[in-house]
Amino acid sequence: MDMRPVRRDTKRKSDARLGIVGTGVFLAMATLIVRMGDMQVSSGKVYIKASLSNAYDTFPVPASRGWIYDRYHYALATDKPTFDIVYTKLDTPAQDNAVIAKQLAVPFGMRASEIEREMPTQTWDSNPQVTILANAPPRIVSYVEEHASELPGVSVIAAPLRQYPYGALADHVLGYISSIPASQASTYAALSSPKYPPNALVGQDGIEAQYDQYLQGTPGAMKVEVNAANVPVRDLGLFPAPKPGDNVVLNIDGHLQDVLQQSLQSQIQALQGMGYYWVKTGVAVAMDPNTGAILALGSYPFYDPQWFVGGISSQHYAQFGAAALDSAVGGLYPPGSTEKPLTLMYALNQGVINAHTTVWDPGYLYVGGTRLNEWVPSGFGSVSVPEAIGVSSDVFLYQTGLWLGHYPPSSGGLQQWMTGERVQAFNGLANFAKNFGLTAPTGVDLPGEVTGYFHDNGYLSDLAYMAIGQDQVYTPIGIAQYVSAIANGGKRMKPEVLHEILSPSGKVVKVIKPVVLNHIPVSAQNLALIQDGMAWTTQDRGGILGTAWSTFLGDRYAVSGKTGTAQTGVTSRDVASFMGYAPSSDPKIAVVVIIPGAGEGFQSSGPVARKIIDAYLNQLASGKSIAPTPLAPSGGSA
C-alpha cells in the first residue's frame, strides 16, 4: 500500500495557493516600505521643487526560495517574508559611516562599532551594499523609514527568511543555506546566472545543495525615484518581479524520519548509561527496496539547519562540528558479518560451495599456524549455507574464503599462492561487491558520497577475515542498496531522495521514476538460499536460534536480516550493525543501522531497526499519514 496519494491533489493546490498568497503579501509589504518614504516628501511645492533634481535607484528584491516537502506534503523547509536593513556606500560627502552607525546603535540594540564594522568604506568596494541587520522587527523598520533623510544609504529591503519548522528533523537530508563562501565565488560567478548575484544565499549540503538550481528563485528589482538627498520618493514598480524557486517533494516520510532519529538518539543515550560512554555516533537508512526511494536517513549527532540562517553563532558552530558529516553517505564502516551473504553469493557463483555444502564448526579453524576462533567458543557443529547466515558461523565463512583462494595451494608453493590465487580471490570478491553498490557509487542524490573499498594486508589469513567483513569498509547507503537487492529478488535500485519537482503554482515540473542500475549476477536458486538464511536470523528453528531472534521476538512482522559485529582491536568497542527487510515474503522496507563502538549488532543496532520497521509498517497498515514532530538538535540547544 502506498499512502503518498492520500489527499495529495487537494494538499498540493492548498500549498500552491499558500505560496502565491505568501508571494503577494511579500511584494505588497515591499511596496509599502517604499511608499512610506513617499509620504515623507509628497507635500505641495516642496515635492515639485525636489523633483527637479530627482534620479532613479534600483533596489534588489530577493526571490522566495522553493519549499521542501516530505512525501505527504508536510513542509520541512519554508520561506517567510521579512525585512533586512541594508547599507549602500554612496558617492557623497553627506554620508558618514560613523555618524550613521551611532544613530542606528540605540534602535538596533548594538554597539556603533559593531554596525560600522559591517559597512563598506568605499563605493568601489567589492560589495558596496551589505546587510547590516537581517530580519528586522517592525519597530526598527519604522524607525529607518521615519529617519530616512538622516540615514543616507540606509534602506529597508524585503527579504525571504528560510525556516525549518521541525528543527533538527532530517538535518542531513535537508542540509542548510548560507552566503556564497569565498571558495565557491568563482564557481557561481562562472554560471553567469541571474539567480546567483554575489549576495545570494545558496545550499551548502543535502537537498538544499543538491537541488539548489531548482529551489533558487530569480531575484527581481524595484525601481525607485529618489530625490537629491537619495531619499526614496516614489515607487516605480518591479522591473522585473522576483520569481520564486520551484518546490520539491521528497520520498522522505517525515514521521519515519522522526522515529529513526529519536531511536538512534535514545539507543545511544541508553548505551552510555550502561557504561558505553565512548559511544557517541550512529547512523541509519530506511529504503523502499522495490523503488529505491529513501524513506528516512540520518546520523547522530544532529544539528538544526536554522542555526545558519542569518549567520551561525560560535556556540552553534562548535556543536555543528560534531554533527556536520552525513555519515549515511560520507561515512565508511567495516561491515562485520553483514558481509557474509555477499561472500556466500560469490562462493556459490564460483562453484566452491553449493546448496548442499556443510562445514564442521568445532569453534575454531587453523590457517597455517594461526587459530581463528568462532564467536561462540563451542562452535555450531555441522552448518549449512542458510544456517551459516542465521547463526552467523565464522568458521563456515573462514573456510569459504579459503576455498575461494584454493587454499591450501596444490602446487607452486605458498609464496606463489600469496601473490597469485590469494590476491585473485580477494580482488574477485571486491569486484563482485560493485554489483551491489558496496564498492561502487550508489548514485544517491545527496552530495558527499564516498565509495567503499577492500584493503589487502598481505597476510595468509586475509581471505578468512575478508569473508567475515573485517578487511573492507562500506557506506551505510551502500549497504542499504545491497540488502535491498537481496530483498527485491536481484535488482540494484538507484537510491532517490527526490520524488518530484513542482512549480510555484503547483504544476508538476519533473517526476523521478525508479531506476534499475543493474541486475545482480546471482541465480534465483542461490538467492533463495541467502534469503532463507536471512529469515533464519530472526527465527528459532528447532532450538537453533538466529542471532537476532531475541531482538525481534514477538514482532507482528516477519523480518529477514543479518547482524554484524566488526572488531576494532579494542575490547567491547566493536562496530555494531544490522541490516534487514520486512515483511520477509513481500518486502516494503529495507533498513541499515550502524552504531560504532556499541558491541554486538543484535543488542545495539537491532532494536533501532525494529522500531523503524514497525513504525513504517504500522503506518502502512493504518492507511493514514502521521505528521512529524519538531526535533531538538543533539544537546538540546535550539
The per-residue pLDDT for range 61-82, each reduced to its tens digit, is 889 999 999 999 999 999 998 8
Confidence of residue 159 (pLDDT cuts 50, 70, 90): confident
Evaluate if residue 13 carries a pLDDT over 60: no
pLDDT for 237 beyond 80:
no
Burial string for 2-13 (b: 16+ CB within 10 Å, else e) reads ebeeeeeeeebe
pLDDT at 118: 85
pLDDT of residue 152: 86
d(CA 325, CA 300): 9
Task: Give dist(CA 602, CA 395) in Å, integer.
Answer: 19
Q: Is the pLDDT of residue 7 over 70?
A: no
Highest mean pLDDT among 19-33, 131-145, 483-497: 483-497
pLDDT score of 84: 87
pLDDT at position 601 is: 86
Q: What is the mean pLDDT of residues 366-388?
A: 97
Per-residue pLDDT at 9 exceeds 70:
no
Under the banding of pLDDT at 50, 70 and 90, the label for residue 149 is confident
pLDDT value at residue 234:
65
555: exposed, middle or buried (C-beta count within 10 Å: 0-12, 13-18, 19+)?
Answer: middle
Exposed / middle / buried, residue 438 (Cβ in 10 Å: 0-12, 13-18, 19+): buried
Is the predicted pLDDT of residue 410 greater than 70, yes or no?
A: yes
Residue with cell 489527499: 7
Q: Between 132 and 381, whose confidence is greater?
A: 381
Mean local confidence (pLDDT), 248-256 = 98
Q: To the nearest whole percent, how much of the chain has pLDDT over 70?
A: 88
On average, the pLDDT of the chain sits at 89
Find out if CATH 3.40.190.10 is the number for domain 282-622: no
Q: Which pLDDT score is estimated for 43?
A: 33
Average pLDDT over residues 492-509: 97
Check pLDDT > 50 for residue 33.
Answer: no
Q: Assess whether the previous peptide bond of 587 is cis (omega < 30° from 0).
A: no
Question: Among 18-27, 77-86, 250-259, 457-466, where is mean pLDDT lowest?
Answer: 18-27
For residue 242, how many other CB atoms are within 10 A of its CB?
23
Q: Round to whole Å and give the CA distance between 425 and 463.
A: 8
What would the pLDDT profile of 88-126 be if each residue is shown by its tens digit?
Answer: 777 677 789 999 999 999 999 999 999 998 887 765 555
C-alpha 282/C-alpha 270 separation (Å) is: 13
Residue 638 has pLDDT above 80, yes or no: no
Closest to 353 in 3D by CA, of 526, 209, 231: 526
**% helix, strand, coil for the chain, step of 5:** 40, 25, 40
Look up the CATH number of domain 8-250. Answer: 3.90.1310.10
Mean pLDDT of 326-348: 98
Give me the pLDDT at residue 111, please: 94
Of residues 9 and 530, more confidently modeled: 530
Instruction: Tell me the three state secondary structure of residue 500.
Output: strand
Region 580-609 average pLDDT: 95
Residue carrying C-alpha cell 539548489: 212
pLDDT at residue 464 in the model = 98
- Nearest partner of 164 among 305, 40, 362, judged by Cα: 305
pLDDT value of position 28: 52
Contact assessment for residue 484 and residue 286, using Cβ atoms and an 8 Å cutoff: no
How many Å apart are CA 622 and CA 13, to the nearest integer? 25
437: number of Cβ within 10 Å: 30
Mean pLDDT value across residues 247-265: 98
pLDDT of amino acid 232: 58
**What pLDDT, on the 0 to 100 scale, is given for residue 621?**
96
Residue 11 — pLDDT band, cuts 50, 70, 90? very low
Mean pLDDT of 484-498: 98
pLDDT above 90 covers a percentage of the chain that reads 72
Strands (E), 422-515: 453-454, 472-473, 491-493, 498-502, 508-511
At 39, the pLDDT band (50, 70, 90 cuts) reads very low
Answer whether residue 537 shows pLDDT above 90: yes
Contact predicate 418/460, CB 8 Å: yes
In sequence order, what are the residues at sequence separation of 6 or more whose Cβ sits closer than 8 angstroms to the Cβ of residue 531?
486, 487, 560, 584
User: What tens digit of pLDDT does each residue of 416-438 get?
Assistant: 999 999 999 999 999 999 999 99
Amino acid of residue 443? G
pLDDT of residue 37: 42
Buried-exposed string 132-153: b where 16+ CB fall within 10 A, e elsewhere: bbeebeeebbebbbeebeebbb
Residue 549 has pLDDT above 60, yes or no: yes
pLDDT for residue 582 is more than 80 = yes
Which residues does 164 contact at the CB level (< 8 Å), separation at least 6? 76, 77, 174, 304, 305, 306
Domain ranges of the chain: 8-250, 282-622
Q: Give a three-class secondary structure readout of 169-183.
A: CCHHHHCCEEECCHH
Condensed to tens digits (0 to 9), the pLDDT of residues 611-636 reads 999 999 999 999 999 999 999 998 65
